[in-house]
């Protein structure tokens, strides 16, 4: 699985909104939509995937503490 496919999997499984994705990985909202569609070879990078993964893991830890 590529980093793009992994990022798409996390996003789709957890239903993360494009606006939240933009906050996590720091591109513009239009860049996020482009990456979600895979337009012009614009895909999620290894760095994007790691930022998403770390965000999800951190949120999971916070939930676990409840």
Angle at 24 between CA 12 and CA 1, to 5 degrees: 45
Domain ranges of the chain: 3-64
Q: What's the rounded Cα separation, in Å, for the pair 8 and 15?
A: 10
| pLDDT of the residue at 39 | 85
User: Do residues 48 and 9 touch, judged by C-beta distance below 8 A?
Assistant: no
Q: How many angstroms separate the Cα of 25 from the Cα of each of 21, 31, 33, 60, 66?
A: 6, 10, 13, 18, 26
For the chain, 66 residues long, the average pLDDT of each consecutive 10-residue run is 96 97 95 92 96 98 96
Q: How many angstroms separate the Cα of 53 from the Cα of each of 27, 56, 60?
A: 16, 5, 11
pTM for this prediction: 0.90
| pLDDT of the residue at 23 | 97
């Amino acid at each position: 699985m590529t980093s793009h496919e992994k990022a798409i999997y996390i996003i789709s499984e957890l239903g993360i909104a494009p606006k939240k994705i933009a906050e996590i990985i720091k591109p513009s909202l239009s860049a996020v939509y482009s990456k979600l569609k895979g337009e012009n070879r614009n895909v999620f990078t290894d760095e994007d995937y790691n930022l998403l993964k770390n965000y999800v893991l951190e949120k999971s830890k916070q939930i676990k503490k409840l």
